[in-house]
Amino acid sequence: MTADVGECTFSTILPAEITVQALMWTIVILTLVAASVNACTLVGLRHSEDLTWTPRYTLLKNLILSDVLLIITHGPTVIYCLYQRRTLSLGNWCLIQYFVGTVCLFNSVLTITCMALERYLYVCQAIHYLRILTSRRMCGIVSITWLLSVCEAVVSMSLLHLGREQGTHLEGHTTFGLLCEPDTLEHAMGNPRAAAIFRKVSGFSVTMACLVSYSFSYVRMYQEARNAVQPFLQVNRRARKTVLFYCVMLLIQLLPAFVKITSDAIWELEGARAMVPSTFPVFIPSSTAWRLHIALLLLIPVPPCINPLIYGLRNREVHQGLPKMIWCKGKCHELRCMDGGNASRNVGV
């Protein structure tokens, strides 16, 4: 019965086969690109002695780790639902995916905020930079981002379980979505009001804090760059392009958060009208709510794809460090082969 409900809900929401195929292959491509780019960048940073202990790349490794965990839990779940042509069942994996996704998304936004503040210290407080961002403090900052993220997820999960309706079973219940994101999970567990309010307030607050920190940091950096050339009556066009680039990239990174805020606002405004009864023993989301759900599925893998390109491969230090590491590895392998050949010849003599 559950499988029939999931299949019927899926066919009602996504009736066109060509749409299902396009959506599935898009998610597959984004998942593979995100996993490969992040894995290569993380391996390169871990094996580069010049970049490993730099505060900037310590935060970058933290961001990449969050992105990898997110893409591992997000991509396969959506692909499986699209391949099976059914919506996601409410069970242990759904709860695990929701918990890991909440931790990773929350940690990513906090890390991006810390990276903006780190750049501000590097440009505007260069004299005190190394004194402020010591190795111990960087470890503390990374630990705090994970601690806050885990606390957010634990409180959200606790409020969901405490506020769920009586008789709502975790096993066997079918959701209306392809991913265990907050709206689908909250609806499947009876729409506990306390959990929804806490999630929306905390998510909105962290997103706004990230925007404010980013704006402050890059406006101050642009002012410093402009003051450096002002005596020469020139305009620092490179600084302007750099600030514009990172602001556009920030908006792309926060697109999933903006979609979620929009979805939350629609659910608050529409209330019960956001869900319309169907002939099946489940509720089907309105067309607007479902489009936002699909948009969220497509946008979640985008930041993991572009984060290594923005903060890693685009920077001069990584450009210089990664080729050097690859060349050194090839050289060491060649020397080992030569030593092995010489040893063989000596044994033969």
Q: What is the Cα–Cα distance from 57 to 165, expressed in whole angstroms?
A: 45
Separation between Cα atoms, residue 125 and residue 117, nearest integer Å: 11
Task: Give pLDDT, residue 4.
Answer: 66
Residue owning tokens 């490993």? 52
Q: What average pLDDT does the structure give for the chain? A: 77
Please state the separation of Cα 181 from the chain's center in Å.
Answer: 13
Indicate the domain borders of the chain. 2-314
Whether the per-residue pLDDT at 147 is higher than 60: the answer is yes
Q: What percent of the chain is predicted at pLDDT more than 70?
A: 74
Contact status, residue 238 vs residue 246, Cβ threshold 8 Å: no
Q: Are 221 and 240 in contact (CB under 8 A)?
A: no
pLDDT digits (tens, 9 = 90+) for 173-199: 777 788 888 888 887 777 788 888 898
Which tokens go with 201? 């307030």
Band the pLDDT of 153: cuts 50, 70, 90.
Answer: very high
**Residue 326: is its pLDDT beyond 50?**
no
State residue 126's pLDDT score.
82
SS3 for 258? Answer: helix
CATH of 2-314, one of 3.40.50.720, 1.20.1070.10, 3.30.470.10, 3.30.365.10: 1.20.1070.10
Q: What is residue 275's predicted lDDT score, i.e. its pLDDT?
A: 43
Nearest to 90 by CA among 184, 222, 192, 228: 184
3-class state of residue 169 by DSSP:
coil
Q: Please name the residues in contact with 178: beta carbons below 8 A apart, sequence gap of 6 or more.
A: 77, 78, 81, 82, 87, 88, 293, 297
The whole-angstrom separation of Cα 250 and Cα 303 is: 9
Task: Return the closest-CA partner of residue 256 out of 316, 300, 312.
Answer: 300
User: What is the value of pTM for the model shown?
Assistant: 0.80
CB neighbourhood size of 207 (10 A): 17
Q: How confident is the model at residue 106 (pLDDT cuts 50, 70, 90)?
A: very high
Higher pLDDT, 115 or 52: 115
